[in-house]
Amino acid sequence: KQEVTQIPAALSVPEGENLVLNCSFTDSAIYNLQWFRQDPGKGLTSLLLIQSSQREQTSGRLNASLDKSSGRSTLYIAASQPGDSATYLCAVRRDQGAQKLVFGQGTRLTINP
């Protein structure tokens, strides 16, 4: 059974810092991995999708990497801003088709002005 873990559970940093959020998964046989952002009481906004054949994806100040063999992904946020404060979730998908996502518990990020 796939288990997804995110470390740390919470992180508070001053504005402007670069930071890394970690995601690990127990079964390396994944199809893709998706990073989401969740604001309090709101839905999930997709940030980046990495297919199993890819090593990284970039969108603006965000960069996500994937090391499937070791069961790890990182989300790098450059030059953090107070608007980046949210909970960040990673989720893995076992196979294509109508396959479920298995989520981590998230990292709650606070960027202090």
Residue from 96, 109, 106 nearest 44 by CA = 106
Q: Which residues bind another protein (CB under 8 A)?
A: 31-32, 34, 36, 41-46, 49, 51, 89, 91, 95-106
DSSP state for residue 55 in the 8-state scheme? S
Tell the smallest beta-carbon distance from residue 89 to another protein (Å): 7
For residue 48, the minimal CB distance to another protein (Å) is 9
Residue (80 or 87) nearer to another protein, CB: 87
Give min distance, CB of 105 to another protein, in A: 5
Which CB atom, from 50 or from 111, has the smaller least distance to another protein?
50
**Closer Cβ to another protein, 4 or 77, answer by number:** 4
Among 112, 110, 102, smallest CA distance to 36 is for 102
Sequence-distant (6+) residues with CB within 8 A of 10 are: 107, 108, 109, 110
Euclidean distance between CA atoms 11 and 21, whole angstroms: 9
